Structure 1
């Protein structure tokens, strides 16, 4: 079995008496888009700064390409591309000059792919960086990152400030990286973006990873919403694992949520009442997220 591109084991980080990271454990493999989600202050950016070798962990371990992220950060950065959520640029350089500088710093160069990305993202590379909006600053960093042939890409809230069209372009570019066999760590507060793109997800809460896996594996933690119309009268409140029962507008129409473990039993009961119409909505990543954070 191939070694993971990123491997984190029980990572911890303390700032004085405050523990920012208590227990972070997950892996990211080649050809995988890994989603890293949690609210502000949960520890996402602290984890990423530790992976980049900007701060030193207080405990546990983290390796990228099999190298320690603190001691071997220079070697790691030769094969890594990173885009933060708030990009600061040299104000007197143009966007094009900054893209070329960032590429040169990583041993890459301006290519036809760079020109294509500039065109697709709608960036004017001749303007000084001081005139750029937040969205245009993000575009500069994204274009530089996507122009590189890195093995591992780290994106920390990368679409902050982008309009929906450029968000879509970002998603297409990231999916293309996956098809090339690259590894991607995506930290994002846009749950629909993570749900659409990521193969696996880690949810962080108060410095601890509380759930890791694919969305399909996690859906057992949430409920399926069902709207059903039956031929004969139904008493859904008597069914096991049913919650939030509401009567519909039509005779014998009901809406309710069902625990995953009880779905087979509920479906058997509904069939006995002769189903005329049935609509089910599987749980989303937002449902899963609120399963944890709605209790906080």
Structure 2
């Protein structure tokens, strides 16, 4: 049984699309990445799956519980660790008081170890904490009851690089112990390092579901070549060559067949050639250049209104911060 099964999930805010016809599964023990820029629909999808928003249509299951049934959804949340993109922490409480409240709802079997691990001072008021320290509180709350499923929305926001590494190690440990993870991010390196598969969201539609290795291959190769002759730019403005730069060296991203690349270079005397994997950003941007079909073959209609950011839409729907 999948840890998450999302079936044709749609959420509209009036005429404005949040997400539309989103379908995917997260298998047990898998780290699945939700990848897309702010406003793509990541937070809307997560909050709708958790039952904080009512779907316009479609549905799904979390740990086998129907997300459209309030009783079933509540049972699922008892076994879920949720980290919102903007945690709704009670600023007048101390960190300890906030975590005590969360512990009363779901338990705290790993609390002490997590507090030590993230070097969190529980005695301070949340209002007096920095952005990074507030994120630590939210992370401890999400992980401390050893959930079977973690839904993490921009989890490393505000964390310094060392703590980001600590977070990544924590995720891997929990997966080794059998947990499943849905991780929403617009940080490509984070997704590549942690996720098994990635769902790319564009304008509320799921543009593709791919393994990280397949996503990398989509980006093609970064080519840098130095030749003996003067370069005719028109020679390199061919199908398969993108982001062309012509100077002392010619550089471009190659997404075509290798035989065609060899034919292209055969007209010159090559003095130096460097071919490496293109950055992951190149692969990601292929979903945002022009019309990209969805995984079922159609990209779906364009939005009828301005979607804005997920955070602004969710603010209208209510914070749900303590319902983690």
- Give the alignment's TM-score, normalised by structure 2: 0.78
Q: Could you say what secondary structure the match of 2:76 adopts?
A: helix
Pairing of 1:111-122 with structure 2 (within 5 A): 111=109, 113-122=110-119
2:152 aligns to what SS in structure 1?
A: strand
Give the one of 21, 42, 48 matched to 2:40: 42
Structure 2 matches for 1:1-296, cutoff 5 A? 3-71=1-69, 72-106=72-106, 108-109=107-108, 111=109, 113-229=110-226, 237=236, 241-247=240-246, 249=248, 254-259=250-255, 261-267=256-262, 277-295=272-290
CA, structure 1 residues 272+173, in 2 after alignment: closer, same or farther (shift >3 Å)? farther
| Shift in CA distance, 173/272, structure 1 to aligned 2, threshold 3 Å | farther
CA contact (8 A) 1:88 1:137 kept: no
Relative to structure 1, the CA distance from residue 29 to residue 233 in structure 2 (aligned partners, 3 Å threshold; closer, same or farther) is same
**Separation of aligned partners in 2, 1:12 and 1:97:** 37
Structure 1 residue 147 displacement after superposition: 1.9
Give the distance between the partners of 2:113 and 2:271, measured in 1 at CA: 53
Contact 1:240 1:266 in 2 (8 A): no
| C-alpha distance in 2 between matches for 1:33 and 1:288 | 20
Choose 160-169 or 275-284, whichever is displaced more. 275-284
- Give 5+ residue unaligned stretches, structure 1: none
Moved more, 131-140 or 269-278: 269-278
Q: Any idea what the Cα deviations from partners look like across 1:134-183, whole Å, max 9, x if unmatched?
A: 22111111012222221100001122222222222111111222222211
Deviation at 1:29, TM superposition (A): 0.9
Is the Cα–Cα contact under 8 Å of residues 86 and 134 in structure 1 kept in the other structure?
no
Mapped to 2, the partners of 1:66 and 1:198 lie a distance apart of: 22
- Change in Cα spacing, 1:228 to 1:18, as seen in structure 2 (3 Å) is closer
SS at match of 1:293: coil
2:111 and 2:287 mapped to 1: Cα distance? 41
Bigger Cα displacement from structure 2, 185-194 vs 37-46: 37-46
Answer whether contact 2:253 2:278 (CA < 8 A) is retained.
no
1: CA distance between counterparts of 2:254 and 2:78? Answer: 50
Give secondary structure in 2 for the equivalent of 1:292: coil
- Over aligned residues, Cα RMSD in angstroms? 2.7
Q: Which has the higher contact order (CA 8 A, sep 6+)?
A: 2
Q: How many residues align?
A: 287
Deviation at 1:234, TM superposition (A): 8.9
State the 4+ residue runs in structure 1 displaced beyond 6 angstroms. 230-236, 271-276
The 3-state SS of whatever aligns with 2:12 is strand
Contact 2:154 2:184 in 1 (8 A): yes
Describe the SS at the equivalent of 1:14. strand
Unmatched runs of 5 consecutive residues or more in structure 2: 292-324
